Amino acid sequence: MGLTLTEKIISAHLVEGEMIKGSEIGIKIDQTLTQDATGTMAYLEFEAMGVPRVKTEKSVAYIDHNTLQSGFENADDHRFIGSICKKHGVYFSRPGNGICHQVHLERFGKPGKTLIGSDSHTPTGGGIGMIAIGAGGMDVAVAMGGGTYYITCPRVVKINLTGKLRPWVSAKDVILEVLKRLSVKGGVGKVMEYTGDGVKTLSVPERATITNMGAELGATTSIFPSDEITRQFLKAQKREEDFVELKADSDAVYDEVVEIDLGSLEPLAACPHSPDNVKSINEIGNMKIDQVCIGSCTNSSLLDMLKVAHILKGKTIHPGVSLAIAPGSKQVLNMLAQNGALAIMIDAGARILESACGPCIGMGQSPNSAGISLRTFNRNFEGRSGTKDGQIYLVSPETAAISAINGYLTNPQTIGDMPEFAIPSEFVINDNMVVTPANEADMENIEVLRGPNIKPFPVSKPMEDSIEAGVSLKVGDNITTDHIMPAGAKILPLRSNIPKISEHCFAVCDENFHKRALEMGKSIIVGGSNYGQGSSREHAALAPLYLGVKMVLTKSFARIHMANLINAGIIPATFKNEADYDKIDQTDVLEIKDLLNQIKNSDTLKITNKTKDFDFEAEIQLSIRQRDMLLAGGLLNYTKNNA
Express each pLDDT in 538-558 by its tens digit.
Answer: 999 999 999 999 999 999 999
Please check whether residue 207 is in contact with residue 127, taking contact to mean a CB–CB distance below 8 angstroms: yes
Query: Residue 479 half-sphere exposure, CB side, CA atoms within 13 Å?
Result: 30
CB crowding 432-456: b at 16 or more within 10 Å, else e: ebbbebbeeeeeeeeebebbebbbe
449 has pLDDT over 70: yes
Catalytic residue, chosen from 13, 375, 537, 539, is 537
CA distance 270 to 279: 6
pLDDT value, residue 639: 83
151 membership: H or E segment, kind and range: strand 149-152
Active site residue 379: yes
Q: In what order do the strands lie in the sheet with 190-195?
A: 221-223, 190-195, 155-162, 256-261
The mean pLDDT of the chain is 95
CA distance 433 to 424: 22
Angle between helices 137-144 and 559-568 (to 10 degrees): 70
Active site residue 535: yes
CA distance 96 to 106: 15
DSSP letter for 350, please. P
Averaged pLDDT for residues 112-138: 97
Q: What is the pLDDT of residues 487-516, one digit of tens each?
A: 888 888 888 889 999 999 999 899 999 999
In terms of phi and psi (left: phi > 0; alpha: psi -120 to 50; beta: otherwise), the region of 222 is: beta
Catalytic residue, chosen from 36, 119, 510, 580, is 119
pLDDT value, residue 643: 65
Q: What is the pLDDT of residues 192-221, one digit of tens each?
A: 999 999 999 999 999 999 999 999 999 999
Catalytic residue, chosen from 183, 496, 535, 536, is 535
Please check whether residue 38 is in contact with residue 537, taking contact to mean a CB–CB distance below 8 angstroms: yes
Q: What is the pLDDT of residues 18-38, one digit of tens each?
A: 999 999 999 999 999 999 999
CB crowding 236-255: b at 16 or more within 10 Å, else e: bbebeebbeebbbeeebebe
Residue 83 CB neighbours (<10 A): 17
Active site residue 255: no
Catalytic residue, chosen from 88, 101, 107, 379, is 379
Q: What is the pLDDT of residues 150-186, one digit of tens each?
A: 999 999 999 999 999 999 999 999 999 999 999 999 9
At 338, give phi and psi (nearest 5°): -75, -35
Burial class (CB in 10 A: 0-12, 13-18, 19+), 24: middle
Active site residue 537: yes
Catalytic residue, chosen from 13, 65, 514, 561, is 65
Res. 642 pLDDT band, cuts 50 70 90: confident
CA distances from 272 to 213, 323, 393, 414, 507 (A): 16, 19, 6, 24, 20
Query: Residue 372 half-sphere exposure, CB side, CA atoms within 13 Å?
Result: 18
585 has pLDDT over 70: yes
334 has pLDDT over 90: yes
Active site residue 482: no
Contacts of residue 232, Cβ cutoff 8 Å, sequence gap at least 6:
423
Burial class (CB in 10 A: 0-12, 13-18, 19+), 155: middle
Active site residue 384: no
468 has pLDDT over 70: yes
- Beta bridge pairs of residue 606: 617
Closest among 188, 112, 152, 137 to 32, alpha carbons compared = 137
Please check whether residue 45 is in contact with residue 56, taking contact to mean a CB–CB distance below 8 angstroms: no
Catalytic residue, chosen from 30, 36, 59, 64, is 64
At 309, give phi and psi (nearest 5°): -60, -40
CA distance 552 to 244: 44
Query: Residue 342 half-sphere exposure, CB side, CA atoms within 13 Å?
Result: 16
